[in-house]
């Protein structure tokens, strides 16, 4: 599965690291924009399996991606 992150999130490096630990077989890419404007700066967001996902914390985002 492809997981795309926005580089504008303040903790994008930490989010990328946590996702690589949780999903070692998946492709994780940090992009300049994933079309979730204004949300990406405030909270963890990702695009996975064609769906746009948002959560209040990194761990909640990982569990949402895991449920796909």
Give pLDDT tens digits for 32-68: 989 888 888 889 999 998 899 999 999 999 999 999 8
pLDDT confidence bin for 19, thresholds 50/70/90: very high
Across 1-68, the runs of DSSP E, i.e. the strands, are 2-6, 27-31, 45-48, 51-54
Per-residue pLDDT at 16 exceeds 90: yes
Residue tagged 């903790």 (tokens): 11
pTM: 0.87
Residues 6+ apart with CB under 8 A from 27: 1, 2, 3
pLDDT of residue 56: 94
Report in angstroms the alpha-carbon separations of 22 from 36, 42, 53, 59.
23, 22, 16, 10
Cα–Cα distance measured from residue 13 to residue 35, given in angstroms and rounded to the nearest whole number: 19
């Amino acid at each position: 599965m492809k997981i795309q992150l926005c580089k504008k999130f303040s903790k994008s490096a930490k989010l990328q690291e946590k996702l690589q630990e949780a999903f070692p077989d998946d492709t994780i890419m940090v992009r300049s924009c994933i079309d979730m404007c204004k949300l990406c700066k405030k909270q963890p967001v990702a695009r996975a399996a064609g769906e746009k996902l948002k959560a209040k914390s990194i761990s909640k985002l990982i569990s949402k991606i895991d449920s796909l």
